[in-house]
Amino acid sequence: MGAAVFFAGYFALLVLVFAFDGAWQHYTTLEALGYPIALFGLTLLFGLWPDVDIHSIGQKVFYWIFFAVDLFLVVTRQYEAAAYFGLIAILPILAKHRGWTHSWWAMVVLPLPLLVLPYVLIPERPLTGLPFYGAAVTGYLSHLFMDGLLWKRRLRRR
């Protein structure tokens, strides 16, 4: 629920920015419908991501995604990439709960491929990934906020 609420604020900001500069006029109807759905899904996924280090819904979702990607790499005979991907995919399981997956630096670094890959793959539209990166960081931020990890909680003893 936290990721959905945070997404509403993020999407309102995007609508404001896109309305201000008229960027929405360059989208097809399919893009105008698809992008918000994709951004919402990404926000929800990254809202679940920090709990991939424990038995949770997030862990199930992500490990099914990891399995599908790894299976694709094996079927397409990209064995070296599949091995490295598998190695990276087990890292959250090796960490303690609320370890590195619940850190501000992970919130900024893990979604970076969404920002960097368009620079490499679509050099004529380098900022294509910016809304997706923002959605991922928003989802991650919502999780850290809901867990109370953005500030130090001080419990008073009476």
pLDDT at 138: 97
- Token readout for 23 is 């960027």
Please report which confidence band the pLDDT of residue 158 belongs to, taking 50, 70 and 90 as the band edges: very low
pLDDT at 54: 85
pLDDT at 154: 47
pLDDT at 142: 95
* Mean pLDDT calculated for residue range 60-87: 94
pLDDT digits (tens, 9 = 90+) for 25-70: 777 888 888 999 999 999 999 999 998 888 888 889 999 999 999 9
Please report which confidence band the pLDDT of residue 139 belongs to, taking 50, 70 and 90 as the band edges: very high
Gap between the Cα atoms of 155 and 63, Å rounded: 36
DSSP symbols for 8-77: HHHHHHHHHHHHHHTGGGGS-HHHHHHHHHHHHHHHHHHHHGGGGGSSSHHHHHHHHHHHHHHHHHHHTT
pLDDT digits (tens, 9 = 90+) for 91-132: 888 888 788 888 999 999 999 999 999 989 999 988 889 999
Greatest CA span in the chain, whole angstroms?
63
pLDDT digits (tens, 9 = 90+) for 2-31: 899 999 999 999 988 877 777 667 778 888
pLDDT at 27: 78
